[in-house]
Amino acid sequence: MTTKEITNNLIINYLPQFLTDEEFKNMFLTIGPLKSTKIVRDKATGFSYGFGFTEFVSVDDAERAVKVFDYLPMYGKRIRVQHANKSDELSKGYNIYVKNIPSEYTESELEKLFEPFGKITTCKVLIDLQTGQSKNVGFVLYDTKGEADKAISEMHGKKCPGSNNYLVVKYADDSSVKKSGKNMPIPPILPQVTPASPLVAPPPILNHGNGFVSHNSQAGPVRNQTANRFRFNPMAREDTTFGHQSSFGSGFTSPSTGGYQSGMTSPEPSYAGSLTDIPQGPGPFSIFVHNIGEDAEDRELWALFSPFGTVQKCTVMMDTERKVCKGFGFVDMVHVMEASNAIQNLNGYFYKGRKLSVSFKHKK
């Protein structure tokens, strides 16, 4: 069997380390009935190796899942969804532990450092969620033992370019995973997710020039949750270097916001700084998101906010002359409590090394 053959069994790579089995299952239940799902974990510690398998009842559903979810932004990553071959299904992977990684290294840079030694299933740099900074520890999962052995042999005791520290590279036994546990992303306290309201909704329909527009009006996953029920950062400042340039986001228009055009030098409305000033009336409810960086895309805002509820539209404001984001954008959410919950959880969190400022947008 080749990897190009269509089967009902899928392999999913680059999963967020803290994604739960239930969330993983519910994501694919939005496509069709399943035979089985599994996130591959360390048996002793439960540490996720960042990949898993999903077997559909129908081959057609499996093919549709590939089309819907492959490269989907999820918690700051782009997951890969592909048809699994037999070697994928039988492979447990060989995980190596890497210490003294330079602070500025992203997961992409760590992967480039170790990819000469073999096929990497997944790669992880551990992040302190309070500071958004690297803990200088990571994991690299190879397909075969020979590849992992070669990486250890070649990289242990070596220095990364520009670094004075020697790398420690060894197999990730239980003790190394446990010791580094304090450096792992903190598992979020997530709401209960049912098949009817998955954590990750299908991608929104694209409305060129006006950001992302949701194609479904179903209730989001945090409906009926109180605004201060839980806090977590869905992006978790994992590597968010996206391989595709966006051609979207040239403007922002909606009944509740007036009409922002990308040529504006600064936003005109005022913004609510706390949840004590929750807007009244019917939705959608517009959220102002600041400090997202010049490379931000509409799709990234959707990935940030969609775990909290139904997103109607996302738009990053563009500098038309420089062709870059102005560093802020807007998100329209259908339900006020979901919008409040998103603000409560995302305001002050780090995204791509920047501390987000998130608040309701109000007209003057």
The answer on 260 and 323 residing in a single domain is: yes
Distance separating alpha carbons of residues 21 and 41, to the nearest angstrom: 10
**Is the Cβ–Cβ distance between 300 and 212 less than 8 Å?**
no
**Is it the case that residue 258 has pLDDT exceeding 60?**
no
pLDDT digits (tens, 9 = 90+) for 159-180: 988 888 999 999 886 444 444 4
Q: Are residues 350 and 225 in the same domain?
A: yes
- In this structure, are 148 and 268 located in the same domain? no
pLDDT at 120: 85
Q: Scanning the structure block, which residue is given the tokens 């093919």? A: 63
Residue 242: how many CB atoms within 10 A of its CB? Answer: 17
Q: What is the pLDDT of residues 27-54, one digit of tens each?
A: 888 888 999 999 988 776 677 778 889 9
Task: Please give the structure tokens belonging to residue 333.
Answer: 């959410």
Examine residue 191 and state whether it is found in any structural domain, yes or no: no
Maximum CA pair distance of the chain? 64
Q: How far is 243 from 68, CA to CA, in rounded Å? A: 17
| Per-chain mean pLDDT for the chain | 70
In a domain? residue 188: no
163 burial level (CB within 10 Å; 0-12, 13-18, 19+): middle
The answer to whether the beta carbons of residues 126 and 181 sit under 8 Å apart is no
The domain of 155 spans 94-183
Global pTM?
A: 0.38
Task: Check residue 59 and give its pLDDT.
Answer: 93
353: which 2 tokens?
């090394």
Q: What pLDDT shows up at residue 331?
A: 93
Last residue of one domain, picked from the residues 72, 90, 108: 90
Domain boundary among 36, 63, 90: 90
Residue 88 has pLDDT above 60, yes or no: no
Q: What is the mean pLDDT of residues 5-11?
A: 83
> Is 16 part of any domain?
yes
Binned at pLDDT 50, 70 and 90, residue 363 comes out as: low
Contacts of 45 (CB under 8 A, 6+ apart): 174, 177, 178, 181
Q: Is residue 196 part of a domain?
A: no
**Structural domains of the chain, count:** 3
What's the pLDDT score for residue 92?
Answer: 52
Q: What is the pLDDT of residue 125?
A: 85
Same domain, 260 and 154: no
User: Are 164 and 113 found together in one domain?
Assistant: yes
CATH number of the domain to which 61 belongs:
3.30.70.330
Q: Rounded to whole angstroms, how far apart are CA atoms 363 and 293?
A: 24
Average pLDDT over residues 133-139: 88
Residue 200 lies in a domain: no
Q: What is the pLDDT of residues 294-349, one digit of tens each?
A: 988 887 888 788 777 778 888 899 998 988 999 999 999 888 888 888 888 888 87
Q: Please tell me which of 119-133, 268-282, 291-305 the model is most confident about, judged by mean pLDDT.
A: 291-305
**How high is the pLDDT of residue 288?**
94
